[in-house]
Amino acid sequence: MVQVKALACELPYQQGIPLSRFSIAEIKREVISRGIIAEISGTTVWRWLDQDAIRPWQHRSWIFPRDPNFLEKASRVLELYEGFWEGEPLTDQDYVLSSDEKTSIQARLRIHPTAAPQPGQTMKVEFEYDRGGALSYLAAWDVRRAKIFGRLESKSGIQPFSRLVDQVMSQEPYCSAKRVFWVVDGGSSHRGPKAVARLQEQWPQAMMIHLPIHASWLNQIEIYSIVQRKVLTPNDFASLAEVEDRLLKFQIRYQKIAAPFEWKFTRTDLKNLMQKLSVQSLPLKKAA
């Protein structure tokens, strides 16, 4: 049993087997050909592996953190989520906004009208469509107050992002706040020290906090990607104007039930994760 489990935890191609991953049938074939067991059923192989939740036929994609300052940058954001900045508690005059943009939202004009669901039948959406153009959706989420702000632009970029900032910062309580922290990724709309300086020039009380590379999972606005499932899937719009109208009306609908997200991933969890990843880290092999 132990040898079968060990085999299932190997990468086949590293053992000279021309497979990307093992299936139950392939594991059975391999253990018999290696003489580990004279005969065994696929059901038995599955039962043994299931004891330790070993599923070599499954896989998922991931991106290994490669920012040398990943822990430091991510910890600053998690500190804000916990209600602190540089070790001091945030005040009632401090606000934390998580922001991002969703680019290239198409208006897919279906060749035939979508059929509504009927008893015993699901909604039917025509496969073919005409392209009606695309928009970018820029949004900001007030982490502590559960407020969503958004706008549609013909494309993303420095100026569209600046307009989102102005939209938020020109209203209370942000325009008279002590500090407004803007958590963003490293996208071109708000990348680097120039973006930090540009924001503070526009709004002196605003502070841009950059997430490390490949850390969108630490950006709370990503949770609001529910908009993809609720509004944009299936993509069936008569025009770009309808895309904008539906998205902005969804904001209003969502705001009525919105509550701060129950964020449970802490700086301690991050340190533990980084320690775990450091053990798994292996030097990259150079191509021959």
Q: Where are the alpha helices (DSSP H) in the chain?
A: 2-8, 24-33, 42-50, 70-81, 158-169, 192-202, 226-230, 240-255, 267-280
Residue 105: closest CA among 132, 139, 67: 132
What's the pLDDT score for residue 64?
Answer: 75
Kindly report, residue by residue over 28-55, the tens digit of the pLDDT.
Answer: 999 999 999 999 999 999 999 999 999 9
pLDDT above 60: residue 19: yes
Query: Using CB atoms within 10 A of its CB, is residue 274 exposed (0-12), middle (13-18) or buried (19+)?
Result: middle
- Residues 148-154 have a mean pLDDT of 97
Kindly report, residue by residue over 50-72, the tens digit of the pLDDT.
Answer: 999 999 999 988 777 788 899 99
Tokens of 52: 């330790």
Backbone angles phi, psi at 139, to 5 degrees: -145, 155
Kindly report, residue by residue over 112-143, the tens digit of the pLDDT.
Answer: 999 999 999 999 999 999 999 999 999 999 99
Q: Which CATH architecture has domain 70-263?
A: 2-Layer Sandwich (3.30)
What's the pLDDT score for residue 281?
Answer: 57
Tokens of 6: 């060990």
Cα 182 from Cα 39, distance rounded (Å): 62
Helix (H, G, I), strand (E, B) or coil at 247: helix
CB 225 within 8 A of CB 77: no
CA dist list (Å): 89 to 10, 79, 85: 48, 10, 6
- Which residues are within 8 A (CB) of 120 and not within 5 positions of it... i.e. 6 or more apart? none
Backbone angles phi, psi at 29, to 5 degrees: -60, -40
Cα 60 from Cα 141, distance rounded (Å): 29
What's the pLDDT score for residue 147?
Answer: 97
- Which residues are within 8 A (CB) of 19 and not within 5 positions of it... i.e. 6 or more apart? 12, 13, 26
Confidence of residue 280 (pLDDT cuts 50, 70, 90): low
What are the sequence ranges of the domains in the chain?
2-50, 70-263
